Amino acid sequence: MTEFLKRGTFTIILATLMLVSCNYNRYKAKPDIWNKLDIATNTPIRNMYAGPTELLVMTDDEFVRVSNQNQILERRVFTDLPFNFFGRPSLSRYVFLRVVTQDYPDPSDPSGQATIKANQMEVYLTKDTDSSESIFFNLDEFAENQEISIVPEDKARYNGAFDTNGDLFLLPTLNITDNTYSFFLFDINLNLSKDAFIGSGITLNKRIDLPLDDISGDLMNVSFVNGFFYVNSKWGTYRIDPNTGDYKEINKIWTLNTFEHEDKVFLTGFNNFDFYQSEDNGQNFEQVGTSSLKFVEVENGKIFSQTQLGLPWSLADDDMLGAQDLRVNKDFEDDGASYWNLRHFYGRYYISIQKEIYFLEDLETE
């Protein structure tokens, strides 16, 4: 009996040690893998763009250029914050743009002291700090010339889109006069060296009125994919030809995002079963399964998704039907609003966490 108790006690002790050991290995804190870039912006980072030689970063009040050696090349600060921002700023290689409400001098006031608020597009060169080279395009005057009243879109994940070269910019607006969404395609006019504006700098190319009621929040995303602009909304998806201004209604399904991968165009939906694929560059789409992908960024041939702006990123499986959470540092904030941008630049992946940027070379998933 005594020998039996001894053996039993030993077995219990051994099992306890093994369990503690397993739990220790399982819950041991993993080392941080993301390195912090030596910069902290004044306000949260709203957008990033990875060019051939520079990473461009934009907040509400700053524009930053980062070299491929992670050195700060330029930090441009905007001292006067606008009264209102319509969505996040838009970035291209040579130009960045934000849509805001700003105070203007009131032309009816002879003293020049009074101001009025107006909606405008502010267009800046990415490599020129001379404010005289900036363009302030008054959208209220523009709409008045069009004999309509408009409100710039501000709820979509991307509330405007450049084409690949940055020569065109598509601006969605709620057309209060016609009770529809009016999209304005603007030419960005630059010289051959892309370091100065030509003439007025920005001119109207086309107006495209989509058969969507002007209901704030109905627009999900605006993007440029392989030669065409795509509009994702609660009531369907539209493909716009920038050369003709013609549009095609792809479907009447609530879609969130359009992206290209391996010569195919994909649509993600509010419902997981609304996952569509096109093999003819967006002419025709077919349902291809159930996917957890929602709002997507394609970087370095990899597909990343988040269920809404601000939530953590996940890396899509090879079949794109599922995704695994990216491994992040222990002290990264998880407040539902920190994760906005993910880019691949010069062999490294970069993510923004509020006012900071982190990078690494090799991704890991949980």
User: Identity (one letter) of the amino acid at 53?
Assistant: T
Check residue 9 and give its pLDDT.
Answer: 47
Indicate whether 2 belongs to any domain: yes
Dihedral, 220, 353, 64, 72 alpha carbons, nearest 10: -150
Closest C-alpha among 193, 174, 199, 192 to residue 184: 174
Query: Tens of pLDDT along 40-95?
Result: 999 999 999 999 999 999 999 999 999 999 999 999 999 888 999 999 999 999 99
Q: What global pTM score does this model have?
A: 0.89
User: Identity (one letter) of the amino acid at 332?
Assistant: F
Query: Tens of pLDDT along 246-264?
Result: 999 999 999 999 999 999 9
Check residue 6 and give its pLDDT.
Answer: 45
Indicate whether 26 belongs to any domain: yes
Sign of torsion over alpha carbons 281, 287, 288, 289: positive
pLDDT at residue 25 above 60? no
Indicate whether 316 belongs to any domain: no
Exposed e or buried b per residue across 223-241, where buried means at least 16 C-beta atoms within 10 angstroms of its C-beta: bbbeebbbbbbbbbbbbbe
- Residue indicated by tokens 């003819």: 280
Query: Tens of pLDDT along 213-223?
Result: 999 999 999 99
The residue-averaged pLDDT of 270-275 equals 96
Indicate whether 5 belongs to any domain: yes
- Residue 19 phi, psi dihedral angles, 5° rounding: -65, -45
Q: CB under 8 Å to 292, separation ≥6 — which residues?
A: 272, 305, 314, 321, 322, 323
Which structural domain, as residue segments, surrounds residue 26?
1-30
Check residue 226 and give its pLDDT.
Answer: 97
> Does 333 or 38 have the greater pLDDT score?
38
pLDDT at residue 27 above 90? no
Indicate whether 200 belongs to any domain: no
Indicate whether 117 belongs to any domain: no
Confidence band, pLDDT 50/70/90 cuts, at residue 16 = very low
Element (H, E) at 12: helix 2-27
Give residue 91's Cα distance to chain centre: 10
Looking at the 3D structure of the chain, how many domains does it have? 1
Locate the DSSP E strands across 51-165: 54-59, 62-67, 72-77, 84-85, 90-91, 95-105, 115-125, 135-138, 150-152, 161-162
Most confident of 125-134, 326-335, 347-356: 347-356
Beta-carbon count within 10 A of 156 CB: 23
Check residue 4 and give its pLDDT.
Answer: 43
Indicate whether 15 belongs to any domain: yes
Indicate whether 262 belongs to any domain: no
pLDDT at residue 33 above 70? yes
Check residue 112 and give its pLDDT.
Answer: 74
Confidence band, pLDDT 50/70/90 cuts, at residue 129 = low
